[in-house]
Structure 1
Amino acid sequence: MTASTSLLRRAAALLAGLLVVLTSGVVLAAPATADVPEGWSDPDPVSTLEALLVLGGIPLLLFALIWAAVYLPAIARGERVSAGSATVEDQWIGGPRKTTSELAGPDGDQSQAGGASARW
């Protein structure tokens, strides 16, 4: 097999592959031409306004409900929910009820108090 024959075969294979890709793209992009099957209803066309209300209104309504479920309880408790509000200092959920001074600190090198005593 010579170099020109090999080059010709590669070009033919490339052209065949390109032809398959282009024709499959045109065939797949063609609209469907099937009729509505017997026994199925033929629905009325949907107006643009109705489509906008369904596709835009329902997500906006869900967004508003989720926002209300998240923010309204905090607002009712009197918390600030703005972006620049101060962060809560010293909040420890499930921790000591009075102050952090209730926790025992390590009082020596061999003390087991004040941590999980993790070892590597």
Structure 2
Amino acid sequence: MWRVVDDAAHDSADESADALSSENALTSEKGLWGLFAPDTDLSWQHEALCAQTDPEAFFPEKGGSTREAKKVCARCEVREQCLQWAIDHDERFGIWGGMSERERRRYKKARSQEQI
């Protein structure tokens, strides 16, 4: 019924709470578990034409047409930033910057061979 309060246990609980709040602070500084750096500028996404159209066009089923998505990308002012983001983050699905995943792989491979 009565619990004896152990000051050492209380202190370690305070330390655990401090560690947790410090971990939360680090998580918020680094982004979600350190996966996404908060210093990444994603403001270009607000200007992306794809955000104003049907997202399914940019993620066609296997063997589906990419024509409509690429038409939108061709008119988009932030196409280069979009493509660079997809390459930097190894995006494996969808049309980004006017290129499919297969086209991005070829593009990335060609760029790496040019640097050799």
Task: Calculate the TM-score normalised by the size of structure 2.
Answer: 0.30
Give the helix-richer structure, 1 or 2.
2
Task: Calculate the TM-score normalised by the size of structure 1.
Answer: 0.29
Question: Which has the bigger relative contact order, CA under 8 A and spacing at least 6?
Answer: 2
